[in-house]
Amino acid sequence: MGQHPTPPSALLSAPARKLRNLMFAALALLVLLNLFIHPHEPHFGLDAYAGFWAVFGLVGAVVLGRAAKGLAHTVLGKNEDFYEKGTEDSMHAAPAEQKPPHHH
């Protein structure tokens, strides 16, 4: 009956999916290695846990990416007819008179 939305993974090309999966595999490997290789001295409570910095980096990257996308849409986004507005008025308007620079 109703159409199902396309999953985000289906929007990626095959090489992009391969690269994404490779990056997640590298992240999983680093977390796995962190189970056996411990940091010298944790600076605060959470960084003593294996994989904390991997998760922290992933969450930070996702948050920054989403914030940048939202900010770009808010600040840089224009309506579809933004450049078409006022074209009729500007075509018939007289050119602005330029004044010579005033020197003291």
HEC assignment per residue over the chain? CCCCCCCHHHHCCHHHHHHHHHHHHHHHHHHHHHHHCCCCCCCCHHHHCCCHHHHHHHHHHHHHHHHHHHHHHHHHCCCCCCCCCCHHHHHHCCCCCCCCCCCC
Q: Quote the pLDDT of residue 59.
A: 94
Query: In the predicted model, is pLDDT for residue 97 greater than 80?
Result: no
Mean pLDDT of 75-94: 68
Q: What is the pLDDT of residues 35-73, one digit of tens each?
A: 888 777 888 888 888 778 888 888 999 999 999 988 888
Q: Quote the pLDDT of residue 83.
A: 79
Hey, where are the domains in the chain?
12-88
